[in-house]
Chains A and B, each alone.
Chain A
């Protein structure tokens, strides 16, 4: 009897599900083009490379299943990975939150400017991102010889006696990577904040004046922030993926591999194994671990943002 009940319940459920799907025919029609391309070029490669992480795969021969060996080696036998994890966490813990808050503050301050100069102000702050590879000028600025701008000026003004090897001395490398990464952090999140601030309906602010909001801080807290919730969520995901994926800056400024692995990150470690040593299975295991950490971090931040303004 209970089994029959259960079976009938299942059948009814399936029936409702089917009806629900049929009712939303248009929705699936709208979603279809995106879903097909996305599954083919984004989901499928991710699933395949997660599968690679359980294999030995040297790109030339077909992958061979080796179970959890890659993960065990990664955690127990790879000292350099631990250095990379430490560096990545440090970079992410600083550039993630600071970059994120900075992006919002600058977007908000620019929004306070008169309308006529806003577009130019956005351009100025977005310059590092739109200029693509131009961050390489930091390697000229911090170049170790006296041709480096920073060394040249410091020596000229008598602040330092000798040029410092900013990019090859392990004591300074992480600081430089963090500074440059922060400088690059006004990217996608920043532009989405700018766009978001421009769509908050004016009547909400008007209602605010009537309700007795007296200064820009109150306006920010009671009107702007609650309205920006969905953009803030977008910015958070972008900040997480940018800060945990730090690699290009470290490789191009501090060398690859860097002195004593002092600026080695999880992603440079992954590139080392994937593209230099052709151990794709191992590299995929690194990618999967990094992905899991970012996923958990995102879960936590989205929960915190849900509470904003309540």
Chain B
């Protein structure tokens, strides 16, 4: 079948297109506000941060806030800023990679097979999303302590592997976007289950993988790690930046630089992932 051209689609009115653009622009301003604010605040000199009436946009941009921030971070103690940076990067990378692999494997069999216990297990996963985290902290800590994982990176990485949201998203995605006939055909051709999973299923759910990656990076990167880790050199970047912000009014500038600094990695990954997701539709032509 011929592909619809990337240009105008036959059943779209031009007035409708304009309407869509206008609605999105009005609401977009409302939602983009924090981003605009955070970027501007990070470059404001101290007198502009406290100006009355308050102004959203920066007038005399300066990078003083950033130099203040790094000065404070390096002055803080024996543990260097790069150590915190490494901790966070390591936990985020390993945790995200493991989560995508382990959650996708489980999601694949839950989406495509019925076996004893599969329905109950999946129900448990969706239900687990609804239990408030505040009261499970104590039992969670006891389990970590029993395993001897307190004060290790694993206390953050391993639980992240099994985040219920990831499995839920993956399973829903695989159920709707992978035709059963495709899997059957591959098996008739002699492909093993691992092969089917790796070279047929995974490429087809690329948008879900990328979305999962965003969720996982976001939660791990913003994790201060202070629940299970009390040795300072093993704590994460947000912990180091929070201590800067806690220094009072005089550090408002450095704190706003810290906010923006924390957003750089998730934002970059987000934009890369989203442009990839948008691309996939153009290339994936599943024909039954």
Contacts and interface: CB of A to CB of B under 8 A. Distances in A.
Interface of A: 17, 20-21, 23-24, 26-28, 30-31, 33-35, 37-38, 40-46, 48-49, 52, 59, 106, 109-110, 112-113, 115, 118-135, 137, 140, 146-147, 149, 152-153, 156, 183, 186, 188, 191-192, 194-196, 198-199, 201-203, 205-206, 209, 213-216, 218-219, 227, 229-231, 233-234, 237-238, 240-241, 244-245, 267, 270-271, 274-275, 280, 283-284, 287, 290-291, 294-295, 298
B28 A124 contact: yes
11 contacts: A17-B116, A31-B109, A33-B161, A38-B167, A192-B172, A213-B11, A215-B12, A233-B172, A275-B134, A287-B134, A291-B130
Given A198-B281, A291-B132, A191 B172 contact: no
B134 A237 contact: no
A127 B274 CA distance: 13
B148 interface: no
A236 B158 CA distance: 27
B234 interface: no
A217 to B, nearest CB: 9
A283 B135 contact: yes
B181 interface: no
Contact of B31 (A137, A183, A231, A237): A183
B103 interface: yes
Given A152-B52, A153-B53, A298-B130, A44 B278 contact: no
A219 B270 CA distance: 29
Task: Name which of B52, B159, B172 has the most chain A CB atoms within 10 A of its CB.
Answer: B172
Contacts of A46: 128, 131, 136
B165 A188 contact: yes
A35 B274 contact: no
Contact of B140 (A27, A41, A186): A41
Nearest to B113: A27
B89 interface: no
Bin chain B's interface residue count. Answer: 35 or more
A46 B124 CA distance: 11
Interface of B: 1, 3-4, 6, 9-13, 16-17, 20-21, 23-24, 27-28, 30-35, 37-38, 52-54, 56, 102-103, 105-106, 108-110, 113, 115-116, 118, 121, 124-132, 134-140, 142-143, 158-159, 161-162, 164-165, 167-169, 172-173, 175-177, 193, 197, 205, 207-208, 210-211, 214-215, 218, 222, 259, 262-263, 266-267, 270-271, 274-275, 277-278, 280-282, 284-287
A303 to B, nearest CB: 14
B53 A134 contact: no
A43 B285 contact: no
A227 B128 contact: no
A30 B108 contact: yes
Contacts of B208: 192, 195
Contacts of A35: 106, 121
B105 A287 contact: no
Nearest to A31: B106
A264 B66 CA distance: 37
Given A123-B270, A291-B130, A135 B280 contact: no
A20 B116 contact: yes
A131 B38 contact: yes
A45 to B, nearest CB: 4
B277 to A, nearest CB: 6
B54 A31 contact: no
A122 B35 CA distance: 13
A134 B23 CA distance: 24
Given A119-B278, A241-B130, A274-B134, A30 B197 contact: yes
Contact of B278 (A21, A109, A198): A198
Contacts of B193: 26, 30
